[in-house]
């Protein structure tokens, strides 16, 4: 059963879409939320984060997804004049769940996480990465459908609860997305939306999700970098590739 999402002022969009499976509903909802923003903030202005900090996260990564990489590069070039920090080709990711700072998560807890995610009760799935929308601090792809990602988030949260890690946001506040450029200063949002709008007619990229990665994450030179600690496989699926 998929956990129910709730309104959350700290999430973006604050309200979840009306339908977790319908691409049009999700993409339209993301775009409407972005158009409602008046000003974008500096993504890197986050208390507690420094170049020295290391934290464990669960992420989806896409280093070998050539279709996604090509689409991302095309969009980044079109938005280059905005002066944002583009996500490197080997840095594309979907943040699933925060585990905790490395100094608050023991090696024993990491081993427990690895052991408990050897047989996650979640099937592999396909996603579509749709150009293009934004948030308070980034330009990003909308992802559809949301349901399998929410189910994966819930499964990872259950494991985290068992291991008693610090953890991150609850599943009911989860808003999946895939950032391609981070905003690095305060600015009016309308010019960004105007630059993004022509890219919204591009076809989406298909992503195959067969595992979720436990990584040790750091910030470095206007980007997120990581060391993969463990790759947890998902149950093989026979479902067909989605179409728009």
Q: Are 208 and 168 in contact (CB under 8 A)?
A: no
Q: What is the mean pLDDT of residues 186-214?
A: 98
Tens digits of residue pLDDT in 63-73:
889 999 999 99
In angstroms, rounded to a whole number, what is the distance separating the alpha carbons of residues 104 and 166?
Answer: 7
Q: Are 129 and 205 in contact (CB under 8 A)?
A: yes
Q: Are 173 and 157 in contact (CB under 8 A)?
A: no
Q: What is the mean pLDDT of the chain?
A: 95
Q: Among 170, 127, 168, which Cα is nearest to 16's?
A: 170
Q: How confident is the model at residue 50 (pLDDT cuts 50, 70, 90)?
A: confident
Q: Is 60 exceeded by the pLDDT of residue 244?
A: no
- Under 8 Å CB-to-CB from 192, ≥6 apart: which residues? 40, 82, 134, 139, 183
* Percentage with pLDDT > 90 across the chain: 92
Instruction: Tell me what pLDDT residue 242 has.
Output: 53
**Is the model more confident about 62 or about 238?**
62
Tens digits of residue pLDDT in 130-184:
999 999 999 999 999 999 999 999 999 999 999 999 999 999 999 999 999 999 9
Token pair, residue 27, equals 């993409």
**What DSSP string runs through 184-207?**
-S-EESHHHHHHHGGGGGSPPEEE
Token pair, residue 1, equals 């059963």
For the domain covering 33-233, report its CATH number. 3.90.1140.10
In angstroms, rounded to a whole number, what is the distance separating the alpha carbons of residues 152 and 234?
Answer: 9
Q: What is the mean pLDDT of residues 106-114?
A: 98
Q: How confident is the model at residue 240 (pLDDT cuts 50, 70, 90)?
A: very low
**What DSSP string runs through 45-108?**
--TT--TT--EEEEEEE-TT-HHHHHHHHHHHHHTGGG--EEPPGGG-EEEEEEEEETTTS-HH
For the chain, the domains span: 33-233
Q: What is the mean pLDDT of residues 112-130?
A: 97
Instruction: Tell me what pLDDT residue 239 has.
Output: 52
* Helical pair 147-163 and 107-116, crossing angle rounded to 10 deg: 140
The CA-atom distances, in angstroms, between 124 and each of 119, 151, 199, 216 are 12, 11, 29, 23
Q: How confident is the model at residue 46 (pLDDT cuts 50, 70, 90)?
A: confident
* Percentage with pLDDT > 70 across the chain: 97
Q: What is the mean pLDDT of residues 74-102?
A: 97
pTM of the model: 0.94
Q: What is the mean pLDDT of residues 53-70?
A: 95
Q: What is the mean pLDDT of residues 212-220?
A: 96
Tens digits of residue pLDDT in 14-25:
999 999 999 999
């Amino acid at each position: 059963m998929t956990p129910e999402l709730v309104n959350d002022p700290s999430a973006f969009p604050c309200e979840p879409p009306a339908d977790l499976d319908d691409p049009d509903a999700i993409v339209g909802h993301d775009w409407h939320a972005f158009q409602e923003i008046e000003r974008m903030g500096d993504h890197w202005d986050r208390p507690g984060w420094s170049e020295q900090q290391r934290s464990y996260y669960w992420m989806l990564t896409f280093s070998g997804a050539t279709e996604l990489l090509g689409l991302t590069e095309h969009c980044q070039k079109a938005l280059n004049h905005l002066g944002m920090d583009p996500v490197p080709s080997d840095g594309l990711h979907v943040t699933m769940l925060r585990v905790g700072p490395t100094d608050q998560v023991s090696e024993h807890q990491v081993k427990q996480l690895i052991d408990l995610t050897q047989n996650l009760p979640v099937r592999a799935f396909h996603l579509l990465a749709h150009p293009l929308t934004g948030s308070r601090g980034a330009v990003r792809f909308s992802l559809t459908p949301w349901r399998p990602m929410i189910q994966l988030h819930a499964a990872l949260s259950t494991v985290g609860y068992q291991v008693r890690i610090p953890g991150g946001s609850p599943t009911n506040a989860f808003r999946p997305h895939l950032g391609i450029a981070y905003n690095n200063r305060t600015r009016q949002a309308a010019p960004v939306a105007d630059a993004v709008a022509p890219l919204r007619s591009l076809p989406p990229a298909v992503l195959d999700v067969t595992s979720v990665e436990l990584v040790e994450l750091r910030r470095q030179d206007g980007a997120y970098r990581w060391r993969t600690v463990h790759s947890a496989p998902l149950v093989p699926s026979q479902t067909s590739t989605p179409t728009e």
